[in-house]
Amino acid sequence: MNILFATPECAPYVKTGGLGDVSAALPATLASLGHDVHVLMPAYQGMKVAGEMGEGVDLAPWGPWPAAQLVPVKVGSGVTMLLLTCAGLYQRPGGPYVDASGRDYHDNALRFGLLARVAALVGTPHSPLRGWVADVVHANDWPCGLAPLYLAQSRLVSPHEPTAASVLTIHNLAFQGTFDMATADPLGIPGHWRGIDGVEFWGQLSMLKAGIQFADAVTTVSPTYAREIQAPEHGIGFDGILRARSSRLSGILNGIDPKVWDPAKDVLLPHRFSRGRLKGKAACKAALQARLGLQLEAGAMLFAVVSRITPQKGIDLVLENLPQLLSSGAQLVVLGQGDPALQQALRDAAAQHPKQVAVTLGFDEGLAHLIEAGADAFLMPSRFEPCGLNQMYSQAYGTPPIVAPVGGLLDSVTDASADPENGTGFVMAGAHGEGLADALERAQRAWREPKQWKRIQANGMARHFGWEDSARRYLEVYRAAAIEAGRGIAAAL
């Protein structure tokens, strides 16, 4: 199969969250299964991509967009990167979506409208790539949400021409890509698709809604999240349309890269360890305590957070339970950034308890690995979590996670209280302070029983969270989408 994976970010080149990791690992796994995978993404300022660079392909000026170019680069994973360049659109200081001051770029609709437009073009006989046309266009999140619409438009305009199937993956429904409806004109969205059955969402244009409406298949990043977003509590206004499209909606749990997240081979760790030899984990705990200025105390249970510091991630719940945690003699390390008020509250706690609380604002890959290896337990009390990856990293590193009963957390952690023989962590009774307090107490009781704790660690380290099973599920979705695409062409005829 020729697969075009369209994404606004891809690790290690550009990453703001889990989508960046998925965009690196899933295409590489699909390629390893024998498929021809091209990853389309913007060429942002400062990006460095190593590989065999091909000849750039010019794209003529198009609607509101100036001339652009596609530059193919064959990278070591067997994937071809397609870097989209366009004068003034992507070569800017700041991140993929926001400027250096943290504000959304004023022209994000055009920046990502072009990305979607090019993705759709590669799925038609008019593909600018010589001799390569996508069989399926896999669009990711709102920045690529218009690609399924543009492909549907191509089928209507040229019903006799083969057109790629379209798949949209929702990594986080909270980001919906909403813009003034006036942008529909430059984006070339037909008038009859600007209503409630098209792109309209509370009077605005939503790129994510466009993808949901017009994709041949829609996926999310965990089975539980696929169910949750069809109900008002987690649907954020989209639950009705998702219920209407439930026959084409499925949840596929993300994986992790075992070449990167393996404590037995992790070059970022001062001491390595495995399921059968955990001595190095204790040494990593001591190294983490020393690096962050905590009391060098093996008998202090060390809890960890690596996360965006936001209410969604339940950081306020951690703060609510912190006094009780510290009174028990436990320690807490936090790595992340986000809400200023929560950041300040964490900094205040670290200042008051410097030997028990350490807070590092920002992101440090090496420290993230050391935290996963050195902590005794990992906290993820998220109010919602489409998939989550840190709970998988934690289990791989013998660090039982404490998680809320939501999304991918519920799909990937087995509660040790409910299932002592097979448990890999602790699942809260609910995403609230009382639920976290109860889970913390259960975890501390288990930690004081070394035999029980080692069983929980061993169970987690035995789990396989690699990408191959998930990639095969995506291939099934691609094939089903191709059937739907064929029906769409037949309907147009």
| pLDDT-above-70 percentage for the chain | 99
Query: How far is the C-alpha of 80 from the C-alpha of 76, rounded, in Å?
Result: 9
Q: Which residues pair with residue 166 across a beta bridge?
A: 137
State residue 488's pLDDT score.
61
Q: Buried b vs exposed e over 106-127: b needs ≥16 C-beta within 10 Å?
A: eebbbbbbbbbbbbbbbbbeeb
Per-residue pLDDT reduced to its tens digit, 339-353: 999 999 999 999 999
Average pLDDT over residues 67-75: 95
Q: Whole-model pTM?
A: 0.91
pLDDT band of 485, cuts 50, 70, 90: confident
Mean per-residue pLDDT, 364-378: 96
**Amino acid at site 86:** C
pLDDT, position 134: 97
Between helix 18-32 and helix 468-492 the angle, nearest 10°, is 90
Task: Give me the pLDDT at residue 190, please.
Answer: 96
Question: Is the pLDDT reported for residue 62 higher than 80?
Answer: yes
Q: Are 219 and 168 in contact (CB under 8 A)?
A: yes
Of 46-55, 233-242, 273-282, least confident by mean pLDDT is 46-55
Q: Which of these ranges, 187-191, 257-261, 282-286, 287-291, has the smallest mean pLDDT?
A: 257-261
- Hey, which of 60-64, 256-260, 432-436 has the most confident mean pLDDT? 432-436
Please tell me what DSSP assigns to residue 95: -
Which alpha helices (DSSP H) does 122-238 contain, by range?
146-157, 184-187, 207-214, 223-228, 232-235
pLDDT at 491: 60
Give the Cα separation of 467 and 147 in Å (integer): 25
* Residue 87 pLDDT class (50, 70, 90 cuts): confident
Residue 490 predicted with pLDDT over 70 = no
Measure the CA–CA gap between 305 and 282, rounded to whole angstroms: 18
End-to-end Cα spacing for the chain: 25
Q: DSSP code of 193?
A: G
Where do the DSSP E strands lie in 198-345? 200-201, 204-206, 217-220, 249-251, 302-306, 331-336
Q: How far apart are the C-alpha atoms of 303 and 425, rounded to whole Å?
A: 13
Structure confidence at residue 142 as a pLDDT band (50, 70, 90): very high
What local confidence, expressed as pLDDT, does residue 492 receive?
55
Residue 14, classed as helix, strand or coil, is strand
Q: What is the mean pLDDT of the chain?
A: 95
3-state secondary structure 331-356: EEEEEECECHHHHHHHHHHHHHCCCC
CA atoms of 184 and 194, how far apart (whole Å): 8
Residue 21: which of 395, 283, 389 has the closest Cα? 389
| pLDDT for the residue 77 | 83
pLDDT > 90: percent of the chain: 90
The pLDDT score that the predictor gives to residue 270 is 97
- Token look-up 């840190």 returns 390
The helix/strand/coil state of 4 is strand
Domains of the chain by start residue, with CATH = 2-255+469-492 (3.40.50.2000), 279-462 (3.40.50.2000)
Instruction: Please give the pLDDT value at position 116.
Output: 98
Helix, strand, or coil here: 378?
Answer: strand
CA distance 77 to 12: 12
- The pLDDT value given to residue 489: 59
Which pLDDT belongs to residue 355?
98
**320 pLDDT tier (thresholds 50, 70, 90):** very high
Determine contact, residues 394/413, Cβ cutoff 8 Å: no
Spell out a b/e string for 289-300, using b for 16 or more CB atoms within 10 Å of the CB, else e. Answer: bebbebeeeeeb
Please name every residue paired with 136 in a beta bridge, in sequence order, or none if there are none.
3, 165
Residues with Cβ within 8 Å of residue 334, at least 6 apart in sequence: 304, 305, 306, 307, 309, 318, 346, 357, 358, 359, 360
pLDDT at 493 over 60: no
pLDDT per position as a tens digit, 164-180: 999 999 999 999 999 99
